[in-house]
Amino acid sequence: MIDPLSLLAFVPAALALNLTPGADMMFCLGQGLQSGRRSALAASAGISAGGMVHVALAGLGLGAVVNSQPALFDVIRWLGVAYLLYLAWGALKPASVGADPAQVAAPQAADSFRAGFWVNLTNPKVILFVLAFVPQFVVPEAGPVLGQFLIYGLVLALGGFVINGLVGVFGSTAGRFLAPGSRSGIWLGRISAGIFAGLALRLALLQRT
Protein backbone atom coordinates (compact mmCIF):
# COMPACT_ATOMS: atom_id res chain seq x y z
CA MET A 1 0.00 0.00 0.00
CA ILE A 2 2.89 2.39 0.63
CA ASP A 3 6.39 2.78 -0.78
CA PRO A 4 8.92 1.73 1.93
CA LEU A 5 11.55 4.25 0.81
CA SER A 6 9.01 7.07 0.92
CA LEU A 7 7.95 6.04 4.41
CA LEU A 8 11.59 5.87 5.51
CA ALA A 9 12.11 9.43 4.28
CA PHE A 10 8.85 10.62 5.82
CA VAL A 11 9.49 9.50 9.41
CA PRO A 12 12.46 11.82 10.20
CA ALA A 13 10.77 14.70 8.37
CA ALA A 14 7.61 14.16 10.42
CA LEU A 15 9.62 13.96 13.65
CA ALA A 16 11.33 17.26 12.85
CA LEU A 17 7.94 18.86 12.29
CA ASN A 18 6.56 17.41 15.53
CA LEU A 19 9.51 18.90 17.42
CA THR A 20 8.94 22.37 15.98
CA PRO A 21 7.14 24.54 18.57
CA GLY A 22 3.68 25.48 17.40
CA ALA A 23 0.09 26.10 18.43
CA ASP A 24 -0.62 22.47 19.38
CA MET A 25 2.44 22.28 21.61
CA MET A 26 1.57 25.55 23.34
CA PHE A 27 -2.02 24.40 23.85
CA CYS A 28 -0.86 21.21 25.58
CA LEU A 29 1.51 23.26 27.72
CA GLY A 30 -1.39 25.47 28.79
CA GLN A 31 -3.55 22.43 29.54
CA GLY A 32 -0.77 20.90 31.64
CA LEU A 33 -0.23 24.10 33.59
CA GLN A 34 -3.92 24.60 34.21
CA SER A 35 -5.31 21.11 34.68
CA GLY A 36 -2.51 18.57 35.15
CA ARG A 37 -0.94 15.62 33.40
CA ARG A 38 -4.08 13.65 32.57
CA SER A 39 -5.73 16.64 30.89
CA ALA A 40 -2.56 17.44 28.96
CA LEU A 41 -2.30 13.89 27.60
CA ALA A 42 -6.00 13.84 26.74
CA ALA A 43 -5.66 17.18 24.94
CA SER A 44 -2.67 15.82 23.02
CA ALA A 45 -4.74 12.79 21.98
CA GLY A 46 -7.54 15.12 20.86
CA ILE A 47 -5.12 17.15 18.78
CA SER A 48 -3.87 13.98 17.09
CA ALA A 49 -7.44 12.88 16.39
CA GLY A 50 -8.19 16.28 14.87
CA GLY A 51 -5.07 15.97 12.75
CA MET A 52 -6.26 12.62 11.41
CA VAL A 53 -9.53 14.24 10.34
CA HIS A 54 -7.55 16.88 8.44
CA VAL A 55 -5.48 14.16 6.78
CA ALA A 56 -8.57 12.20 5.77
CA LEU A 57 -10.19 15.34 4.31
CA ALA A 58 -7.01 16.17 2.41
CA GLY A 59 -6.80 12.61 1.08
CA LEU A 60 -10.41 12.86 -0.10
CA GLY A 61 -9.66 16.12 -1.90
CA LEU A 62 -11.77 18.32 0.39
CA GLY A 63 -8.71 20.24 1.56
CA ALA A 64 -8.47 21.78 -1.89
CA VAL A 65 -11.99 23.16 -1.40
CA VAL A 66 -10.90 24.96 1.78
CA ASN A 67 -7.86 26.32 -0.05
CA SER A 68 -9.95 27.61 -2.94
CA GLN A 69 -12.77 29.12 -0.84
CA PRO A 70 -11.52 32.07 1.26
CA ALA A 71 -14.93 32.47 2.90
CA LEU A 72 -14.95 28.87 4.17
CA PHE A 73 -11.36 29.26 5.37
CA ASP A 74 -12.35 32.37 7.35
CA VAL A 75 -15.46 30.75 8.87
CA ILE A 76 -13.39 27.85 10.21
CA ARG A 77 -10.66 30.21 11.40
CA TRP A 78 -13.02 32.50 13.34
CA LEU A 79 -14.75 29.54 14.95
CA GLY A 80 -11.32 28.52 16.20
CA VAL A 81 -10.63 32.03 17.50
CA ALA A 82 -13.94 32.07 19.39
CA TYR A 83 -13.28 28.66 20.92
CA LEU A 84 -9.77 29.58 22.09
CA LEU A 85 -11.11 32.78 23.68
CA TYR A 86 -13.77 30.69 25.42
CA LEU A 87 -11.01 28.46 26.82
CA ALA A 88 -9.04 31.54 27.91
CA TRP A 89 -12.09 32.82 29.78
CA GLY A 90 -12.52 29.42 31.40
CA ALA A 91 -8.91 29.50 32.61
CA LEU A 92 -9.46 32.90 34.21
CA LYS A 93 -12.83 32.18 35.76
CA PRO A 94 -11.79 30.28 38.92
CA ALA A 95 -9.07 32.83 39.62
CA SER A 96 -11.37 35.80 39.04
CA VAL A 97 -13.84 34.65 41.68
CA GLY A 98 -11.12 33.52 44.12
CA ALA A 99 -12.43 29.99 44.27
CA ASP A 100 -11.31 27.69 47.01
CA PRO A 101 -9.11 24.81 45.77
CA ALA A 102 -11.65 22.27 47.05
CA GLN A 103 -14.37 23.95 44.99
CA VAL A 104 -12.43 23.99 41.72
CA ALA A 105 -13.49 20.90 39.80
CA ALA A 106 -10.75 19.27 37.74
CA PRO A 107 -11.80 18.91 34.10
CA GLN A 108 -12.57 15.43 32.86
CA ALA A 109 -10.16 13.85 30.39
CA ALA A 110 -13.00 13.71 27.85
CA ASP A 111 -13.40 17.50 28.09
CA SER A 112 -9.68 18.02 27.47
CA PHE A 113 -9.78 15.58 24.56
CA ARG A 114 -12.67 17.51 23.01
CA ALA A 115 -10.86 20.79 23.55
CA GLY A 116 -7.72 19.55 21.81
CA PHE A 117 -9.79 18.03 19.00
CA TRP A 118 -11.68 21.25 18.27
CA VAL A 119 -8.65 23.49 18.63
CA ASN A 120 -6.89 21.45 15.95
CA LEU A 121 -9.95 20.96 13.75
CA THR A 122 -10.80 24.68 13.65
CA ASN A 123 -7.30 25.61 12.50
CA PRO A 124 -7.68 25.57 8.67
CA LYS A 125 -3.94 26.01 8.22
CA VAL A 126 -3.45 22.40 9.31
CA ILE A 127 -5.26 20.96 6.31
CA LEU A 128 -3.35 23.31 3.99
CA PHE A 129 -0.10 22.13 5.57
CA VAL A 130 -1.12 18.50 5.02
CA LEU A 131 -1.88 19.30 1.38
CA ALA A 132 1.57 20.84 0.95
CA PHE A 133 3.60 18.26 2.87
CA VAL A 134 2.12 14.77 2.59
CA PRO A 135 1.70 14.56 -1.22
CA GLN A 136 5.48 14.85 -1.60
CA PHE A 137 5.72 11.30 -0.21
CA VAL A 138 2.67 9.79 -1.91
CA VAL A 139 3.40 7.35 -4.74
CA PRO A 140 0.16 6.69 -6.67
CA GLU A 141 1.56 3.49 -8.15
CA ALA A 142 2.07 2.05 -4.65
CA GLY A 143 -1.64 1.91 -3.80
CA PRO A 144 -4.73 3.99 -2.99
CA VAL A 145 -3.85 7.61 -2.35
CA LEU A 146 -6.26 7.96 0.60
CA GLY A 147 -4.70 4.92 2.28
CA GLN A 148 -1.23 6.46 1.94
CA PHE A 149 -2.49 9.77 3.33
CA LEU A 150 -3.90 7.97 6.36
CA ILE A 151 -0.68 6.04 7.03
CA TYR A 152 1.42 9.19 6.82
CA GLY A 153 -1.12 11.00 8.96
CA LEU A 154 -0.90 8.27 11.58
CA VAL A 155 2.87 8.73 11.75
CA LEU A 156 2.39 12.48 12.27
CA ALA A 157 -0.37 11.91 14.82
CA LEU A 158 1.61 9.41 16.91
CA GLY A 159 4.72 11.58 16.95
CA GLY A 160 2.66 14.63 17.82
CA PHE A 161 0.86 12.81 20.62
CA VAL A 162 4.13 11.77 22.27
CA ILE A 163 5.91 15.12 21.91
CA ASN A 164 2.96 17.39 22.72
CA GLY A 165 2.04 15.06 25.58
CA LEU A 166 5.54 15.33 27.04
CA VAL A 167 5.36 19.12 26.85
CA GLY A 168 2.00 18.97 28.64
CA VAL A 169 3.43 16.68 31.34
CA PHE A 170 6.26 19.17 31.84
CA GLY A 171 3.66 21.91 32.29
CA SER A 172 1.73 19.80 34.78
CA THR A 173 4.91 19.23 36.81
CA ALA A 174 5.35 22.99 37.12
CA GLY A 175 1.69 23.53 37.92
CA ARG A 176 1.47 20.73 40.48
CA PHE A 177 3.08 22.84 43.19
CA LEU A 178 0.73 25.78 42.73
CA ALA A 179 -2.59 25.60 44.58
CA PRO A 180 -5.53 26.83 42.46
CA GLY A 181 -6.80 29.23 45.11
CA SER A 182 -3.41 30.69 46.07
CA ARG A 183 -1.82 33.83 44.61
CA SER A 184 0.57 31.68 42.59
CA GLY A 185 -2.37 29.59 41.41
CA ILE A 186 -4.20 32.73 40.26
CA TRP A 187 -1.15 33.71 38.20
CA LEU A 188 -1.03 30.19 36.83
CA GLY A 189 -4.59 30.61 35.57
CA ARG A 190 -3.63 33.93 34.02
CA ILE A 191 -0.63 32.39 32.28
CA SER A 192 -2.81 29.60 30.87
CA ALA A 193 -5.40 32.14 29.75
CA GLY A 194 -2.63 34.19 28.16
CA ILE A 195 -1.45 31.14 26.19
CA PHE A 196 -4.96 30.43 24.91
CA ALA A 197 -5.60 34.10 24.09
CA GLY A 198 -2.24 34.32 22.31
CA LEU A 199 -3.17 31.30 20.20
CA ALA A 200 -6.50 32.97 19.39
CA LEU A 201 -4.67 36.11 18.26
CA ARG A 202 -2.26 34.04 16.17
CA LEU A 203 -5.17 32.30 14.47
CA ALA A 204 -7.02 35.59 13.95
CA LEU A 205 -4.00 37.01 12.12
CA LEU A 206 -3.51 33.83 10.07
CA GLN A 207 -3.39 34.29 6.31
CA ARG A 208 -4.59 31.66 3.85
CA THR A 209 -1.31 31.70 1.88
pLDDT, residue 96, reads: 41
pLDDT, residue 113, reads: 96
Is residue 130 predicted with pLDDT exceeding 70?
yes
Q: Which residues contact 196 (CB under 8 A, 6 or more apart)?
A: 27, 30, 84, 85, 87, 88, 91
Report the C-alpha gap between 65 and 58 in whole angstroms: 9
Lowest mean pLDDT among 18-22, 100-104, 162-166: 100-104
pLDDT, residue 107, reads: 61
pLDDT, residue 165, reads: 95
**What number is the average pLDDT over the span 173-184?**
62
pLDDT, residue 179, reads: 52
**What number is the average pLDDT over the span 32-57?**
92
Report the C-alpha gap between 109 and 51 in whole angstroms: 18
Q: Give tens-digit pLDDT for 180-189.
A: 555 655 666 7
**What number is the average pLDDT over the span 118-125?**
88
Q: Give tens-digit pLDDT for 143-160.
A: 788 888 999 999 999 999
**What number is the average pLDDT over the span 57-74?**
79
Proportion of the chain above pLDDT 90, given as a percent: 27
Is residue 13 predicted with pLDDT exceeding 80?
yes
